[in-house]
């Protein structure tokens, strides 16, 4: 990562950023604008849409509007640095959309996407206080031109509407639960429904602990092992997880949830015990076990769990090594459903995302989620991206973007469309490597579906098993 040394911003630093780092944005913007111009000029289809978007960004006259020479020193802070990063991302998204729409005769919802991109573009200009400096920004179709105050008022209204939607989320979960119950009855799926409230005296504590989780055993059968986690501080919000986890009990690659219990002082969640801890702990502490076959099988385990969620219309929203546990029989299981949502309600407000955004999460975060917009739409393509990063980590046994000290450095690498490379001379199938690279494409539309990833990983594992059994002569 030779590019990293130039970024010196600390995670919580409020220091002024060097002007030279801001100047690099001008070069990036000019480069993308030139690409947009060339692509539009050679467009085969949807020429009107291409020209409209091209005119939209060129009318903004960005290189003149962003005149750093006339900016006060106060302008060169971390917040405006983020805003400029977002502006570059949005312009790049516009370029990618023009590439797509110029090569196909019909593109589903192209007009809707066009309007969304233009709104994102104008939001970036508002954030940087550039809108009032730009003389010409013509309305798209019959949309009225709004001034800055009206747009901010509309954004506030969107937040309020989103809060109303979130209040209805529990009703949506319950409706999904009823649908799954009916499906189980029709297909005679055997299901051992976990008891929600467990008797505390039925368990004995052991001396084994793993982070915030302690190992307990059944009083009557010490071979039955459980993970106890103190949830006293979040007991009021744990019901959503409980509702979903009870319905995921039958998937072999999702950690089993048995219920909650109370010792008279604290509340605990009771789940399946994973002897080897999380995936990163496993490959760090048990390298001798983590051979090519197991890497392929664990990758397949995770894909199977994600595919199961996908069929139910659920997104996990926090796929990373710490949220994959490895059991005593070396089976990988998804855990930590604190952020999971039904797909249609998976939107983040920027405030919510910034609250949970950490360096560890951003290592696996899709670049479109780093945009500073009123709300961030998390869909299955974001989940695919996180899984793609995780596949690289499984093969390389390294932390993604390990040398990056803060989220800004990771974001900058994403702007350059840098992705962690695979090391040479490993035994991993090329099909696997290509799948991982496709999953972390900067263009969400180019990423594969979860179902397709599951099929390819299944084929990789089966092919490896077959070749291993074939005798050599």
Catalytically active residues, by annotation: 318
**Euclidean distance between CA atoms 109 and 105, whole angstroms:** 13
Q: CB of 256 within 8 A of CB of 271?
A: yes
- What dihedral angle (degrees, nearest 10) is formed by the CA atoms of 370, 373, 377, 383? 0
CB atoms within 10 A of CB 15: 11
* Cα–Cα distance measured from residue 457 to residue 463, given in angstroms and rounded to the nearest whole number: 10
8 A C-beta contact, residue 265 and residue 198:
no
CA–CA gap between residue 419 and residue 367 (Å, rounded):
12
Say how far apart CA 241 and CA 254 lie, in whole Å. 13
To which H or E segment does residue 402 belong?
none
**What are the b/e assignments for 410-426, b being 16+ CB within 10 Å?**
bbbbbbeebbbebeeee
DSSP-assigned letters across all residues of 195-254: PSEE-GGGEEEEEEEETTEEEEEESS-TT-EEEEEE-GGGGGGTHHHHHHHHHTTT-TTB
């Amino acid at each position: 990562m030779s590019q990293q040394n130039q970024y010196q911003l600390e995670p919580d630093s409020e220091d002024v950023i060097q002007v030279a780092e801001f100047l690099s944005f001008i070069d990036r913007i000019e480069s993308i604008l030139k690409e947009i111009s060339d692509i539009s000029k050679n467009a085969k289809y949807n020429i009107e849409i291409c020209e409209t978007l091209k005119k939209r960004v060129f009318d903004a006259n960005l290189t003149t509007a962003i005149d750093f020479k006339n900016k006060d020193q106060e302008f060169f802070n971390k917040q405006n640095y983020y805003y400029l990063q977002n502006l570059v991302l949005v312009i790049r998204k516009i370029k990618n959309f023009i590439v797509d729409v110029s090569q196909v005769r019909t593109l589903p919802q192209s007009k809707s996407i066009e309007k969304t991109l233009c709104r994102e573009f104008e939001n970036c200009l508002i954030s940087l206080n550039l809108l009032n400096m730009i003389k010409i920004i013509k309305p798209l179709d019959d949309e009225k031109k709004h001034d800055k105050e009206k747009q901010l008022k509309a954004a506030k209204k969107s937040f309020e509407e989103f809060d109303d939607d979130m209040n209805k989320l529990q009703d949506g979960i319950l409706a999904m639960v009823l649908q799954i119950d009916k499906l189980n009855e029709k297909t005679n799926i055997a299901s051992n429904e976990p008891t929600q409230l467990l008797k505390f005296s039925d368990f004995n504590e052991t001396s084994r602990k793993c982070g915030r989780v302690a190992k307990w055993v059944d009083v009557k059968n010490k071979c039955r092992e459980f993970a106890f986690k103190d949830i006293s501080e979040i007991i009021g919000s744990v019901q959503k997880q409980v509702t979903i986890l009870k319905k995921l009990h039958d998937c072999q690659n999702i950690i089993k949830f048995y219920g909650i219990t109370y010792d008279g002082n604290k509340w605990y969640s009771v789940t399946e015990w994973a002897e080897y801890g999380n995936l990163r702990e496993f490959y760090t502490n048990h390298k001798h076990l983590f051979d090519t076959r197991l890497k392929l099988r664990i990758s397949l385990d995770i894909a199977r769990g994600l595919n199961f969620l996908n069929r139910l219309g659920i997104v996990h929203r926090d796929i990373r090594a710490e949220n994959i546990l490895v059991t005593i029989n070396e089976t990988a299981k998804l855990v930590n459903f604190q952020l999971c949502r039904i797909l249609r309600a998976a939107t983040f407000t920027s405030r919510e995302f910034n609250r949970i955004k950490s360096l560890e999460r951003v290592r696996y975060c899709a670049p479109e989620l780093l945009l500073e917009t009123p709300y961030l739409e998390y869909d299955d393509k974001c989940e695919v991206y996180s899984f793609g990063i995780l596949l690289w980590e499984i093969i390389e046994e390294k932390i993604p973007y390990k040398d990056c000290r803060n989220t800004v450095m990771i974001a900058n690498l994403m702007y350059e469309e840098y992705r962690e490379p695979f090391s040479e001379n490993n035994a991993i199938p090329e099909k696997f490597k290509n799948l991982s690279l496709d999953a972390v494409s900067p263009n969400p539309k180019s990423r594969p579906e979860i179902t397709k990833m599951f099929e390819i990983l299944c084929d990789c594992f089966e092919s490896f098993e077959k070749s291993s059994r074939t005798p050599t002569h």
